[in-house]
């Protein structure tokens, strides 16, 4: 059965999508991986497929959720990397749930992925920057969660609330889910305030912080443009994530 790992924080610009995409790509070099885009912006979809999100209109994660059938909507990127795509209509999931779904609204994603769990080694879920239905469903479906931390005051404020949300989901719907750790990323090593915030988070959450710290690099920033195929900067773009993936595998 696949290990399901969610990347989340209710703060935009915290590298959830880039990290989800890079981790899915790196794991797919050894394992079979399904990426799940649960953000209606569809950035993970564009990052991994290098196609417009509307190319997948009518056959996305939203349709998979409504039908509770993931298999027919999975798209193949490579033999070892597949994706459930997202586009704008996913933003209507909460209203659809409350108007049309009578089951446990927090467990819809878990039920949707159930039939494909044995097809993959890992399922990587990218979440929107909000504590809404998509994020709760992702947490409820996960074996492990990575909390993202960008070195900013607003993200520091969001981090504690996100960890509390994880605990609530553990208590109410998914006692087997654990916090894999906190990944500190998007760090500008030239800024003293970034350094101070990294140290503050490490001091407050010593046991949770991954040793790997992801710094801002131009090559990683250009992944959204150049993608993972025929990208001359690829090794440079993903190299600092390799240590993180090793740590992540040890924890999950």
Distance of alpha carbon 106 from alpha carbon 112, whole angstroms:
12
Full-prediction pTM beyond 0.75? yes
Residue 209 phi, psi dihedral angles, 5° rounding: -70, 130
Q: Which residues of 191-216 are buried (b: 16+ CB within 10 A; e: fewer)?
A: eeebeebbeebbeebeebbbebbbeb
pLDDT digits (tens, 9 = 90+) for 63-94: 999 999 999 999 999 999 999 999 999 999 99
DSSP states along 92-106: GHHHHHHHH--S-GG
Instruction: Tally Cβ neighbours within 10 Å of residue 230.
Output: 7
User: In this structure, what DSSP letter does residue 146 have?
Assistant: E
Distance of alpha carbon 3 from alpha carbon 186, whole angstroms:
26
Contact 60, 46 (CB under 8 A): no
pLDDT digits (tens, 9 = 90+) for 108-134: 999 999 999 999 999 999 999 999 999
Domains and CATH numbers, the chain: 3-251 (3.40.50.300)
pLDDT at 109: 98
pLDDT digits (tens, 9 = 90+) for 161-220: 999 999 999 999 999 999 999 999 876 777 888 888 888 999 999 999 999 999 888 999
Instruction: Tally Cβ neighbours within 10 Å of residue 20.
Output: 29
Distance of alpha carbon 139 from alpha carbon 7, whole angstroms:
9
């Amino acid at each position: 059965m696949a290990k399901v790992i969610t990347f989340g924080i209710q703060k935009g610009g915290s590298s959830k999508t880039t990290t989800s995409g890079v981790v899915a790509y790196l794991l797919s070099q050894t394992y079979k991986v399904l990426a799940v885009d649960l953000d209606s912006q569809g950035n993970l979809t564009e990052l991994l497929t290098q196609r417009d999100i509307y190319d997948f209109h009518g056959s996305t994660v939203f349709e998979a959720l409504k039908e509770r059938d993931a298999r027919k909507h999975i798209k193949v990127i490579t033999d070892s990397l597949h994706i459930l795509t997202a586009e704008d209509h996913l933003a209507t999931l909460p209203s659809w749930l409350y108007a049309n779904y009578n089951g446990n609204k927090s467990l819809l994603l878990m039920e949707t992925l159930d039939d494909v769990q044995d097809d993959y080694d890992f399922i990587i879920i990218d979440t929107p920057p909000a504590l809404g239905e998509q994020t709760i469903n992702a947490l409820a479906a996960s074996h492990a969660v990575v909390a993202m931390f960008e070195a900013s005051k607003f993200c520091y404020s969001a981090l504690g609330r996100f960890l509390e949300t994880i605990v609530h989901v553990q208590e109410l719907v998914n006692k087997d889910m654990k916090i894999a750790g906190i990944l500190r990323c998007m760090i500008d090593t030239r800024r003293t305030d970034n350094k101070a915030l990294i140290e503050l988070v490490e001091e407050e959450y010593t046991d949770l912080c991954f040793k790997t710290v992801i710094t801002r690099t131009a090559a990683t920033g250009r992944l959204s443009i150049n993608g993972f195929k025929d990208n001359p900067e690829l090794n440079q773009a993903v190299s600092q994530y390799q240590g993180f993936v090793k740590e992540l595998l040890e924890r999950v």
